[in-house]
Structure formats: structure tokens, C-alpha cells
Chains A and B, each alone.
Chain A
């Protein structure tokens, strides 16, 4: 096809996924790709928006009140029991706060060295099921990241490795991170210029000690785009 770059024009898999005709295994395969392939995600969003209005043909059905009661209870329990560590809205703001703090404390150095000011970045790494995975605050200049788990991940004797994926490039390792603790990651000097809003961060499950090959070998459990504050 001549115009494959336009949303909706790509492989039929995105449309088939949204329509709902794929098998369980095919759906899982698409869901695993969504995190890593922004073009596929855009295709899927295109079809979700195009087909979504069909749902207005259904006669609304009021759910029983117990459904809201359970949702409300889950949110209250979330706020009370789980510490702020697991509360994504908190961390989203905390990430912005700490990145802003980092930006402020580094402002003098950066403004002195770099002619154009750098905008701090944040990333919400979502799990493939849509749940929150990690929140990442990127220091102004891209030299360091703070990675905070937003939910408990089941790592089961494996390591979590953080990857930086620039458009059209292979994933580059940023090192290992922790499932239950915030960590600071230093970005190698040769990768700093790839820390831009066009890049994606992803977390994969690897053998203890990290990927032996230098590329992700296990499943990607969370990923997200870098966004400017």
C-alpha cells in the first residue's frame, strides 16, 4: 500500500483486535506489542475511536449499587492500607515535584552550560494490562532517572531491567531496577541525547543479574513514553 503511515492504514491486526475477532493467544500477542510499538498503539486508538460510537446502540442497564460500593471500598483501601508508594496519582504528582526540584537545584549548572534550557521529563510506565507499573522522573538534562514502583510486581526470582528505546533503534539497557523500592539510575553519557519525548522506557523481566545478551530476553512488563512536564 502506498500510504501506510496514515493511522488506520496499517496491518489489519489493530482493527481485528479492536473489533474483537482475535483468539485469546492472538490478543495476548497484540497486547504484548502495544507497549513497544507506538504505531500499533496509534492504530488501535484510531479504531477504538471509529468503532466506539456503535456502543450507543445498546440500551443502558443500571448496574446494582453494590458495584460502586466495591469500587469505592477498593479506592479507600488503596488510600489507607497501601502506602503512598502504590498510589499512582500521588506518585504522578510526586514525580513532577521531584523532577521540578531536581530541575530547580540543577538549574544554575544547566543554564550555565547549555544555551537552551532543558525541560524535565516524566514517564508513567503502564503494565500491559493497563495498570500502573512504575513512575519515572527524569532529571533536567537527562543524566539521571528516579524510578518508583507504582504497584507491586511479581518478579519471582528474576531481575527487572530498564530499557531506553529511541525511535527506530534497538533497546539500550539503563541497568537493573527494584520491584519494591525507588532507585536512582545514572544514564550513560552516550545515551543522554536519546532521553527525549520521542523515546520510550520499558521494563523487562530478566535472569538475575540482567539480560545476558544486551537486549531484552524476557517479557516487557511495563512501558511508557517520556513526556514533558
Chain B
């Protein structure tokens, strides 16, 4: 096939699905930009940290706030998260990790550790409040910018028993322990553990396909 013809074919393919193509390209560019900024932070570039904060703090604040259910604590943890990013950016490997998932992991770990350090009374109150928050589907607006990885994960979650998938989501978004999940779903602890472990195995199988 000669050059001009193949480029014509690419154009017409792109026109079939313009939204998807643009979104993927934009996501790819954003990801590369973020990875490059993390590399600059590792070299001590404070301006790069400011760029990463500008582009990711609203997302990470949502992650922290959802887990902690307390604005003040979420602010403290968010501050800690970016100071950790400043110190640990050298450990980020763009060949092995997506920058946003790497940042989300730091935010979730810090938030869950903070949640676990609360006195038991405060924790109980949070469980009751959190139980009223739904683990609903993503908003319509966010659906538009869903990444391929996320779409795949959602498909795999849909293959699970709805109650099991709900428990996985609660744990991810709220840092809910096995004990709390068992209470909320009114099942014995052992049952909850086997739901989650089996679901994780099935998720892995599904994601590896």
C-alpha cells in the first residue's frame, strides 16, 4: 500500500470515532505531561510540584474527603500527600506506573492510615454516616472522559455479584474494613472475607484477559 492511500485510510477511521480518538490522545498527552512533571520534581523543581498540584489536587482532595468524611482532616492529609510527592517523586517509574494512579495510591494510603488512627467512637460515627452515602455509578459528565483502563475495570466489576462489587467499591472509596463491611451487609466476617478474596481473584482474571 502506498503512503498517501494509507494516510487517507487513517483519516477516515479517525472520522468514524472522533470523540474517542481525541479523548484518548488528550489523556495520553496529559499523562505524559504529568509523568514529566514528576520527573522534574525528583530533580528538586518546586514549580513542577505546583503544576502537579494544580492539575491533580481536586481529584486527590475528593479521594481524601470521601475516605475521611471530614474536610479539615482531608486538608491535612492532602498537604501531607503533596509533601510526600515532593520527597518520593524519584520513586515514580513512568515505564511501570500511570502517574495519576501512583498519586491516587499515595492519597488513599495516607487517608486510610489516618482513618484507622481515629479513636473507635469517632470511627463508629463515620461508619453510620458513610453507610448512607451511595456507591453509585459515575456521573454522566465523568463518563465522557473514562479511560480505557477504567472502562475495562468497570466491565470486570459488573461481572461480579452486585453485592460483592458493592463491597469492593465501599472498600476502595471509603477504606471500609472487613469488619465494617460484614456489619453493613449483615453477613459473618468469614463470609465477607471470602466474598472479597474471591472477587479480587475474579477481577484479576478478568483484567488479565
Contacts and interface: CB of A to CB of B under 8 A. Distances in A.
A9 B205 CA distance: 9
A173 to B, nearest CB: 26
Contact of B176 (A21, A51, A130): A21
28 contacts: A15-B200, A15-B204, A16-B197, A16-B200, A19-B196, A23-B179, A24-B116, A48-B97, A48-B101, A48-B102, A51-B153, A56-B142, A57-B138, A57-B150, A59-B62, A60-B59, A60-B62, A66-B75, A71-B79, A71-B82, A74-B79, A88-B87, A90-B44, A92-B44, A92-B90, A126-B88, A130-B84, A131-B84
Contacts of B49: 71, 75
A21 B177 contact: yes
Contacts of A24: 113, 116-117
Given A21-B178, A90-B44, A27 B113 contact: yes
B96 A74 contact: no
B46 interface: yes
B114 to A, nearest CB: 11
B105 A131 contact: no
A209 interface: no
Interface in B92-117: 96-98, 100-102, 104-106, 108-109, 112-113, 116-117
B107 to A, nearest CB: 8
Given A20-B174, A58-B63, A61-B65, 7 more contacts: A18-B105, A23-B179, A57-B150, A59-B139, A71-B53, A93-B43, A131-B84
A21 B184 CA distance: 13
Interface stretch (B3-11, B12-20, B164-172): B164-172
A62 interface: yes
A212 to B, nearest CB: 32
Contacts, number: 171
B204 A62 contact: no
B58 A62 contact: yes
Interface in A21-69: 21-24, 27, 45, 48-64, 66-68
Given A20-B112, A52-B98, A59-B142, A124 B177 contact: no
A89 interface: yes
A12 interface: yes
The listed residue with most B CB atoms (<10 A of its CB), out of A19, A68, A75, is: A19
B150 A12 contact: no
Given A12-B200, A130-B106, A58 B62 contact: yes
